[in-house]
Structures are given as C-alpha cells and as structure tokens.
Structure 1
Amino acid sequence: MAAYVDDAGIMWRGKPRFHLIADSVAELHAFTASIGIKRCWYHSGTRFPHYDITTEQRSAAIQAGATAVSDRELVLIAKKIRDEKSHPSDLPLPRRPTA
C-alpha cells in the first residue's frame, strides 16, 4: 500500500490542512482507518479522492509509512494514479451488436 501526504498546509478555520491520497480508494480508507482518521474527512467529489488532515494527522500518517511529498508532486502522483485507473486496457471491450 502506498500513501502520500503533501506539504501544502492550506489554512482552514485558522489551522493548516494537508491532503492524503493512496494508490486506490480502498487503500486510502484502510490506511486512514489504521491511524484513526474519520471517514467524514474524505473528499470524493474532487479531481482526486483524498482526505483533508491536520498537522498531527500528517505526522501520524508519515510515521505509519506515508510518503511526504510537495503539493506539486502530490498532484502529479494523483494524475498518474487516475490515468492508470482509466487506461483503455483496463476497460471492458464493447459488445458487438448481433444481427
């Protein structure tokens, strides 16, 4: 399982927040559950599925094995994961119409 956390530190309600992603949504949920992050912090309706996490949660994620990356690197990783998941070879072949 590979998890990644950025260093963006986007301020929300006066405190920095960071993004946590993983190679798949299932891995992301399993990883966050293992370090006590609640599912309500999950964002699915965005460019890439992620959790918004606090400074303390970021430290816990890194201690649990997440790779710390820059915010730019995180976007590139997320795009790569998304592209791999939607690669045409992974999609079912269209059915041919029968006469």
Structure 2
Amino acid sequence: MSVYVDDAVTLWRGRRWAHMMADTLEELHAMAARLGMPRRAFQDKSSGAHYDLTVELREEALRLGAVAISRHRDREQVRAIIRRARAQWSGAGPG
C-alpha cells in the first residue's frame, strides 16, 4: 500500500499545488497527519479523495515515503490511482 503525490502542476493563488492520494483513506489521512495537515483540508470529491499540497508539503511527503507520480510519464499508473481515489469518495454532499 502506498501514498502518492502527483506533479505540482496546478497554479492557484500564485502557487503550484499537487494532489496527494493513497491506496486507502487510512494511509491518506495518516500521511496528512504526519504533514501536520488538518482533517478539514481533506478533499472528499467525486473526482477522487485527496489532499491538495503546496510544493513544500509535496517535498516533505516524498521525504516521508510518498511515491512521486507524473501525469505525463506514468499515465496508466495515475489513472489507476485516480480510480481508487474516486472509489473512496463518501458520496456525501456535492462532489
């Protein structure tokens, strides 16, 4: 089982952001806690359960053992991870 962080590609509010996903929600929340992220930062979305990470938090997640994935190089792996993240959506509220 693993935690994954994609490329820091999304530009928002002048910063680059990445997504952190995992094989299980337990792993995802555990890594977020290790990064000092509050549970309210969790994105329970129909597009995939994830946390948004700044470039700095992405680097820290990698240092703590997360696996770097690239939407450009690892397309099939990224699709599989996103499918798992979508399956983890609670279905509660808007997605």
TM-score by length of 2: 0.75
**Cα deviation 1:21-65 (Å, max 9, x = unaligned):** 011112110111012122232110232100001000000000000
Backbone CA RMSD of aligned residues: 2.2
Seen in structure 2, the aligned counterparts of structure 1 residues 83 and 42 have a Cα distance that, compared at 3 Å, is closer
Q: Is the 8 A contact 1:9 1:18 kept in 2?
A: yes
Unaligned runs of 5+ in 1: 86-99
Larger Rg: 1
Structure 1 residue runs of 4+, over 4 Å off?
Answer: 82-85
Seen in structure 2, the aligned counterparts of structure 1 residues 48 and 64 have a Cα distance that, compared at 3 Å, is same
**2:79: which partner in 1?**
75
Identity among equivalent positions (%) equals: 38
Task: State the distance in 2 between where 1:58 and 1:17 align.
Answer: 8
